[in-house]
Chain A
Amino acid sequence: MNYLDFEKPIAELADQIEKQKQIAEKNKVDASQTILQLEDKLEQTRKEIYGNLTPWQRVQVSRHPDRPYTLAYINHITDGTFTELHGDRTVKDDKAMVGGFGSIDGRTVMFIGQQKGINLKMRQLRNFGMPNPEGYRKALRLMKLAEKFNKPIVTIIDTPGAFPGIEAEERGQGEAIARNLFEMTLLKVPVICIIIGEGASGGALGIGIGDRVLMLENTWYSVISPESCSSILWRSWDHKETAASALKLTPNDMLGNGLIDGIIKEPIGGAHTNQEETFCRVKKEILKNLTELDKLSSDARVIHRIEKFSNMGVVVE
């Protein structure tokens, strides 16, 4: 287990429990009472800390090293039926963007999402979840494939941004994202977008146009990361906490401002403390929303989608 700085009290209690268990084992004494008490206290501490997360702390949880990534969700939700499909048919296969068909309660669904790596080697292979243009084009190819066979689409968003490299610029990062925004608006099948970690700017939005946009409880979604915002506006990284608050990037803020459609609660202590439970909740949300969206005609869904995004923004006349 990895612990964040503000999780120190939780870490200490977990450590104590572990020690008690070892002592009990070694000395063959019954410490179950003490352990139960400690576990109670741990639960309580977790509740307290996680009940009052600051926006910056939530950003930290969204990047927690133990947090599950896209493929973990997909594999669990599809009960191992997920078949990954590769390539954008133009340049290459972007490992930072994954996608393919999977079956969810007997129904075929197209899953697409940014993938972060689980260890150093994989992080490099996955380019830290930062897609290149071919990633967005692969995503669009797969969406069109799903549309052709009338299968709903679920996108899973977790990215620190679209990759800002030389080749990305050469191959039209801007055009690739723009094209997706345009084409996703018109998809005839239901589209559900779920932010499971970081929702950073255009890199997230590039697969983020849907009938339903949902955020897990400990995630963020905004135009820029708090660190970059701090470095641009305050000219130093020291103001990232202030920036995180100012950006109103938490799920509650985003829902309150009408910029997303719903929040999926995480187990207390974050998605990583009980991954199984998190996956189940996400699956339930997908099924619930699909049932609702099935009731609308494809034309109605497209009209609603355009209306929803057209209504975003605050101006004074």
Chain B
Amino acid sequence: MSWFKRIRQGITTTTREKKETPEGLWYKCADCKHIAPAADNEANLWVCIKCGHHQRIGSEDYFSILFDEDEYQELFAKLKSGDPLSFTDTQPYKDRVESSMKKTKLKDAMKVAVGDIDGESVVVACMDFSFIGGSMGSVVGEKIARSIDYCIEHKLPLLIISKSGGARMMEAAYSLMQMAKTSAKLTQLSAAKLPFISLLTDPTTGGVTASFAMLGDLNISEPGALIGFAGPRVVKETIGKELPKGFQTSEFVLEHGFLDKIVERKDLKAFIAKMVRMLAK
């Protein structure tokens, strides 16, 4: 016998009558499901207050974390994707780009800015995963190439923040050649003896991992990021069994010797500034 007895059957509140929680007031951690006020979450740099899970954030968020007083100058902001192959799959590539632009208010999957990080002037090129999965097409390649020219001209260090599924399929071989292009340009930055710090964030896979992201003088990452060449689904299909726990996380990649350090988001600014100073002196 239960203490309470249901008099009427079923839930009677219609969906329309339910009190809606306004969007964006609360944040639920994707990892531990902890719910925290969105403002607290933002104040904690989009890192879960309970479990430390680093959420995916955009280029402007990184700029606000890194640059002193959130002051910076965006570079090469006008670059947009062409459609050299008139590519069409389930929808024309042109439309895909247009709708991504509308949805994200971005022009492509990378923004470049120059500004001071703890007083050190640095060029930061940061990818946006929200724009077609952060895929690398001609715009990303060209922005990196121009960033490198800018760094050489102004004798500045370069920080690239990667967050990408890899090459952009809709630009086919053009996107493949961005791997060659960015790597070739990095030889010039290297010859100029200017520091290149590569920050790999969740996720960094495919052609981005297999080009500039792995070529930093320092390769660093945030905790718990997915980093790999082949995506986990492809690896799983290849070997035909479950992947080991922690496979392709930053901790895994550090353990196997391909990262210099895992840096928490709260320490990022200080770390970058410190390393830039150390490498310069």
- Which A residues are within 8 Å of any B CB, using their own CB? 162-166, 168-175, 177-179, 181-182, 185-186, 201-202, 205-206, 208-209, 221-224, 229, 232-234, 239, 242-243, 246-249, 254, 257, 259, 305-306, 309-310, 312-317
Contacts and interface: CB of A to CB of B under 8 A. Distances in A.
A266 to B, nearest CB: 20
B259 to A, nearest CB: 10
Contacts of B207: 201-202, 223
A245 B212 CA distance: 29
Interface string B233-249: 01100110001100110
A209 B258 CA distance: 23
Nearest to A202: B210
A174 B239 contact: no
A314 B97 CA distance: 14
Given A234-B90, A313-B177, A185 B229 contact: no
Nearest to A181: B183
Contacts of A179: 214-215
A134 to B, nearest CB: 14
A209 to B, nearest CB: 6
A163 B235 CA distance: 9
B81 A316 contact: yes
A233 B138 CA distance: 19
Contacts, number: 191
A309 B212 contact: no
Given A181-B184, A223-B175, A310-B185, A233 B209 contact: no
B212 A178 contact: yes
Nearest to A203: B210
Contacts of A178: 179, 183, 209-215
Interface residues of B, number: 62
A173 B210 contact: yes
Interface stretch (B46-54, B165-173, B261-269): B165-173
A178 B183 CA distance: 7
Contact of B248 (A169, A202, A232): A169
Given A169-B247, A223-B169, A316-B81, A310 B184 contact: yes
B18 interface: no
B6 to A, nearest CB: 45
Interface in B115-147: 137-139, 141-142, 145
A173 B205 CA distance: 11
5 contacts: A201-B176, A242-B89, A248-B85, A313-B142, A313-B178
B3 to A, nearest CB: 52
A306 B229 CA distance: 24
B142 A174 contact: no
A242 B87 CA distance: 11
In this complex, which of B79, B90, B183, B238 has the most chain A Cβ atoms within 10 angstroms of its Cβ?
A: B183
B220 interface: no
A182 B81 contact: no
B185 A306 contact: yes
B80 A309 contact: no
Interface of B: 78-85, 87-90, 137-139, 141-142, 145, 167, 169, 171-181, 183-188, 190, 206-207, 209-215, 228-230, 234-235, 238-239, 243-244, 247-248, 252, 256-258
A205 B79 contact: no
A46 B255 CA distance: 56
Contact of B79 (A201, A249, A317): A317
Contacts of B257: 172
A247 B172 contact: yes
Contacts of B176: 201-202, 205, 221-223
Given A164-B238, A257-B174, 5 more contacts: A174-B209, A174-B228, A178-B210, A221-B173, A306-B188
B234 A310 contact: no
A309 B177 contact: yes
B50 to A, nearest CB: 30
A247 B85 CA distance: 8
B180 A181 contact: yes
B177 A232 contact: no
B192 to A, nearest CB: 13
B240 to A, nearest CB: 11
A234 B238 CA distance: 21
A170 B256 contact: yes
A169 B173 contact: no
A315 B214 contact: no
A310 B167 CA distance: 16
Contact of B80 (A229, A233, A313, A317): A317
Contact of B173 (A175, A177, A247, A316): A247
A182 B183 contact: yes
A201 B235 CA distance: 16
A202 B239 contact: no
A314 B172 CA distance: 12
A177 B206 CA distance: 11
B169 A233 contact: yes
Given A205-B179, A312-B177, A313-B177, A173 B229 contact: yes
B233 to A, nearest CB: 10
Contacts of B214: 172, 174-175, 178-179
Nearest to A161: B230
A313 B185 CA distance: 14
B58 to A, nearest CB: 21
Contact of B235 (A166, A205, A243, A247): A166
